[in-house]
Amino acid sequence: EAGVTQSPTHLIKTRGQQVTLRCSPISGHTSVYWYQQALGLGLQFLLWYDEGEERNRGNFPPRFSGRQFPNYSSELNVNALELEDSALYLCASSLGGTNEKLFFGSGTQLSVL
Amino acid sequence: GQQVMQIPQYQHVQEGEDFTTYCNSSTTLSNIQWYKQRPGGHPVFLIQLVKSGEVKKQKRLTFQFGEAKKNSSLHITATQTTDVGTYFCAGPGNSGYALNFGKGTSLLVTP
């Protein structure tokens, strides 16, 4: 069974540009979560989608947005990139609900120059 | 909002020594989860604790959930080089909130 897949694996952008990251959850999982892992800051919660709806949002500015498609895959969009957006962006999926364990993808490493 | 704090931030041990990381929440948790992230890898689920005072073991790893369900610990007996990585605890936020992760404890084991 395929795990959580993310694309691209690496990305280099310049300040002010926009980026779209993609995530495909494990088959049967309806919840998708996005986390930012910047150096030394642990995993910072960004967004949670379940059944196509945004369920919760972390403490990030509005230029971080996303959506979940009918097939439960998800996109994370970041507009007006800033240098401090450089990080590993991890997507995770679960069966749904706050007590379910998360299965993480390998992440997208974003570098903003 | 609910926060999860972890200590220590780093730990360097000799192979064979024991290791413990501690996790504390500002609020009572319905459950706590532990994840391990190897260098260059992604977090992988280890275990979930649900009951007050619960203790679970996985080979050399022992996980505990405090009586008040506000703290937890992970203890590794006789560390091995394969234990290297960052260990995260995570708890659900208030109802409807996704998992909040601690900043993790990075374990380095030297042979």
The 10s digit of each residue's pLDDT in B28-79 is 999 999 999 999 999 999 999 999 999 999 999 999 999 999 999 999 999 9
The number of domains in chain B is 1
Six-digit token pair at A54? Answer: 């945004």
Instruction: Please judge whether A35 and B103 are an interchain contact, meaning their C-beta atoms are less than 8 angstroms apart.
Output: no
Nearest-by-CA chain B residue for A109: B40
Query: Which stretch of A37-41, A59-63, B87-91 has the lowest confidence by average pLDDT?
Result: A37-41
CA A6, A8, A9, A14: dihedral to nearest 10 degrees? -130
Q: What is the pLDDT of residue A99?
A: 76
Which CATH number belongs to the domain containing residue A48 in this structure?
Answer: 2.60.40.10
Cα separation, A83 vs A113, in Å, equals: 6
- Measured distance between the N- and C-terminal CA atoms of chain B, rounded to whole angstroms: 41
The number of domains in chain A is 1
Mean pLDDT on B77-94:
93
pLDDT above 90 covers a percentage of chain A that reads 88
Query: What's the number of CA atoms in the CB half-sphere (13 Å) around residue A22?
Result: 7
Q: What is the mean pLDDT of chain A?
A: 94
- The domain of B54 spans 4-89
**DSSP alpha helix (H) spans, B1-111:** none
Distance from CA of A18 to the nearest CA of B (A): 25
Distance from CA of B108 to the nearest CA of A (A): 15
Which CATH number belongs to the domain containing residue B66 in this structure?
Answer: 2.60.40.10
Q: Is the pLDDT reported for residue B2 higher than 80?
A: no
Six-digit token pair at B51? Answer: 């009951």
Instruction: Please judge whether B92 and A99 are an interchain contact, meaning their C-beta atoms are less than 8 angstroms apart.
Output: yes
- Closest to A30 measured CA to CA, from A18, A48, A15: A48
Mean pLDDT on A80-94:
97
| DSSP 8-state symbol, B1 | -
Could you tell me if residue B77 is inside a domain?
Answer: yes
- The domain of A38 spans 17-97
The 10s digit of each residue's pLDDT in A54-83 is 998 999 999 999 999 999 999 999 999 999
Could you tell me if residue A104 is inside a domain?
Answer: no
Q: Is B25 helix (H, G, I), strand (E, B) or coil?
A: strand
Cα separation, B20 vs B105, in Å, equals: 9
Q: Is the pLDDT reported for residue B1 higher than 60?
A: no
Cβ atoms of B44 and A104 closer than 8 Å: yes
